[in-house]
Copies of this chain bind each other. A is one copy, B any other.
């Protein structure tokens, strides 16, 4: 139990830092001030796990523990002063986001299992939590939402969470199951980044816009 708690704590801490960096990189893309970096870094860093804990009815992980907040703020400040040395902030953003996605997919599913959510819901918990991290960041930073792009993203999270829950169900040790899920998510998302992997999209026509619908109503 002690080890388990520690493993989850480390996952939460690293995931918070990684997501905080991606939030701060969005702030740098939008040329915000240092408080904006900290704000976007903090909300992105702790947002996904916060929703997970609220859903599971657990105390929110960072509220009575200052380490997470301090790590997020430190990461954001570091990006503010250090991001200019990066050749491509976008490339770094995408890869760090992939690592965060992999960590949170597995960590969210693990916390779901521990809270008695059952296998299906534990998978859902991992995926919702993982995807919400990036989605909150994109909404707050008014970037195009990551879930509307064609590249595989949520799918990678689904694959890793299923793999972790299945391995756990088959009796694999927690750490082994977590690493399996982590690397599967990272591999699938990494393949999507490097090779542009995508699932077939819905084949039919795209939806008409409200204007087209209004125009068509007018013709009748």
Chain B residues with CB below 8 A from A36, complex form: 147, 154, 201
Known: A140-B145, A142-B145. A121 touches B206 (CB 8 A): no
Q: Is A199 an interface position by the 8 A CB rule?
A: yes
User: Can you list 28 A-B pairs, Cβ within 8 angstroms, ordered by A?
Assistant: A26-B207, A28-B202, A28-B207, A29-B207, A30-B207, A31-B204, A32-B148, A32-B202, A33-B150, A33-B155, A33-B199, A33-B201, A35-B152, A39-B127, A43-B128, A54-B54, A56-B63, A63-B115, A64-B118, A65-B121, A66-B120, A70-B120, A84-B203, A90-B207, A90-B213, A140-B147, A141-B148, A142-B148
Q: Determine if A64 and B29 form an interchain contact, defined as CB atoms under 8 angstroms apart.
A: no
Note all chain B residues with C-beta closer than 8 A to A148: 30, 32, 141-142
The interface residues of chain B lying within 8 Å CB-to-CB of A110 are none
Chain A interface residue number, banded: 35 or more
Chain A residues within CB distance 8 Å of chain B = 26-37, 39-40, 42-43, 50, 54-57, 59-60, 62-66, 69-70, 80, 83-84, 89-90, 115-118, 120-121, 124-125, 127-128, 131, 135, 139-142, 144-145, 147-148, 150, 152, 154-155, 158, 198-204, 206-208, 210, 213
